[in-house]
Amino acid sequence: MITEDRIIRVVPADTPGLVRAVEHVIDDRWLRAYAASVGDTRPEFFDLEHSGGIIGHPVFPVCIEWPLVEHGAPGIELTVNTLRLGLHVSHQMRLHAPLRPAQRVRTEAELYLAEARTDATLIATRFRTYSSDGELLVTTLLHMLYRGVRLEGSKTPDHPHEVTPRSDTDLAPIAKFTVDATNAVIYTECARIWNPIHTDIRVAHAAGLPDTVLHGTETLARAVSTISRAGALPAGAVVTGIGCRFTGPVFPGATLTVSTADLSEDSVAFDVQDTNGTSAISDGTITFELPS
C-alpha cells in the first residue's frame, strides 16, 4: 500500500516557482575549504599565491547547487518522509568555465525529468550557473531515485538524459584511497552540504544502515583528484565534464580502488570499487582539454 509519504506529484506547468534560483558570492575560503575536505591541496585549488589565482575543484559546483534541492527538486510536491527516501543515483556536470574567488554567481534549478519506474520514481533536476555578466559557467543533471514511491504526473525531456552502463571497456587500477568517520563530518562543513545520514550514526541506524555513509559527491571528488594526481589525465589538463552513476554506499573505514581507461584523446573512463569488489561509482567519464 502506497501512503501519502510514498507519492511524488508533478505540479502543473503554470505553477509559479517552477524555476528556483539562488545567488552566491564565491570566496577563496570556501574554495580552499572544499579542496582540503577532499584531500586535494594542489596549488591551483589551494595556494593563494598561485599564478593566476586559484579556481574551484571540478566537483565544487555541487556546493552551490545544494540549496536548490535539499528540500526536494523544484516542480514536484513530496513529504519530508518521501524526500528522505531519495538516492542520488547519477550526476552529469559540464564545466564551461572555472569558478573563481570573488565571483557572484546565480544558479537556477528546474525539473528536467519525472519518470515512473518499476516500484520507483526517477527525478532529475537541471542546474545552470551563470556569472553576474550572464556567462554560463556550469550545467548539471542530478538524478534521484525514490524506491517504493508512486509518481503522479510526468515530465519528459527532449533528449537522452541518463548515464548509461558502459560495456567493452577494460579499466586498470591506478590508485587507492581510504576514508574514515571524520571525512563526512569535515566534508559536510566545508562543502556546506548537510544531511545527517552522513554524519549521525543514529539517523543512519534508523534508516537501516550499518553506519553513516560518505557523501556520493565526496567519493566522486576524491576519485577525480586521484585520477588527476595519478597521471591518468595529461599534465595541465583542465576538467570540462564529469559523469557517473553512484552504485553502492561507502562506509567509514573503506579502502577504495580507482580504475581508469582512455576513451578518446580528451576523455577518460573510470570506476571506484571497495576492497570486496563492491562498486561505489560506475560508468564514470571525465572529459578535459589542454590549455592553448
Same domain, 147 and 8: yes
pLDDT for 2 equals 47
Same domain, 114 and 143: yes
Overall domain count for the chain: 2
Dihedral (CA of 187, 95, 49, 235) sign: positive
Same domain, 131 and 193: no
Same domain, 14 and 147: yes
Q: How far is CA 283 from CA 48, 158, 165, 260, 268, in A?
A: 35, 23, 6, 10, 10
CATH number at residue 62: 3.10.129.10
pLDDT in tens, 211-260: 999 999 999 999 999 999 999 999 889 999 999 999 999 999 999 999 99
Same domain, 116 and 10: yes
pLDDT in tens, 134-182: 999 999 999 999 999 999 999 998 776 778 778 777 999 999 999 999 9
Q: Where are the alpha helices (DSSP H) in the chain?
A: 28-37, 43-46, 61-65, 80-83, 181-191, 201-206, 216-229
